[in-house]
Amino acid sequence: MTKETLFKDAFDSIVDCDEDKAMRVLKDAEEMGVSSLELLTEGFSAGIKHLGDLFGRGEIFLPELIFSTEVMKMVTTEIESKMDAGDIQSKGVMVIGTVEGDVHDIGKGIVASLVKTNGVEVHDLGREVPAQVFIDKVREVNANFVGSSALLTTTMTEQKKIEELLVKEGLRDKVKTMVGGAPVTKRWAEKIGADAYCEDASDTVNFILKWIDEM
């Protein structure tokens, strides 16, 4: 088996939501002496990004993305368990949460999972998160990216509050901000000064990877 074949098998295991195949690929890679990080980047992560793109274009449905994300999380956990913490290089740090007054967090959770499987350290604050908590966490973890989700028109103003607090506390120029949620629009993002409006998880990953390339 060549390294290229191994990468393709890793890619396919994610696309096909095949947990058993993913585990076999990890075992084969170990026997061949292939770097786990290289396998993660060239194989598994490439697969999850491909699925994210398909989901963004409406070519696959949410359950497929969720199942594959679960396989990806299992793979990354397995790889991380065999590596020293210093070997794992994060591409960046993200703080994400659903704003205060809003209990919806399924979509936000999918975004957090997909971003994490693309090599970004994610701090998920959960739901009903006050704007100040976002700010405090940004400072604590030295975040590069901030994502806020609002599923109600009445809670969208919390996203504006996050932007204002980042400016007030001198953090705005240090982070890229993303807003999302059913009632949220690109126009709203521009109005409050956010860097991007993200329609779905794929959008979020693409913006983050683009910004990482520019860092």
Predicted local confidence at residue 74, as pLDDT: 87
102 and 70 fall within a common domain: no
Residue 99 and residue 188: Cα distance in Å, rounded? 15
Q: Is the Cβ–Cβ distance between 43 and 8 less than 8 Å?
A: yes
74 and 112 fall within a common domain: no
Instruction: Output 103 or 176, whichever has higher pLDDT.
Output: 176
Domain that holds residue 12: 3-84
Please say if the pLDDT value at position 18 is more than 70. yes
Which of 20, 52, 84 finishes a domain?
A: 84
At 183, the amino acid letter reads P
Question: Hey, which residues does 148 pair with through a beta bridge?
Answer: 97, 179
Q: Which of 197, 194, 174, 198 is nearest to 92 (CA)?
A: 174
Residue 50 and residue 54: Cα distance in Å, rounded? 6
**CATH number of the domain residue 32 falls in:** 1.10.1240.10
Entry pTM: 0.69
137 and 171 fall within a common domain: yes
20 and 118 fall within a common domain: no
Residue 65 and residue 101: Cα distance in Å, rounded? 28
Predicted local confidence at residue 57, as pLDDT: 83
Instruction: Output 99 or 182, whichever has higher pLDDT.
Output: 99
Which of 84, 114, 147 finishes a domain?
A: 84
pLDDT > 90: percent of the chain:
60
Tens of pLDDT along 49-79? 888 788 878 898 878 888 888 898 888 888 7
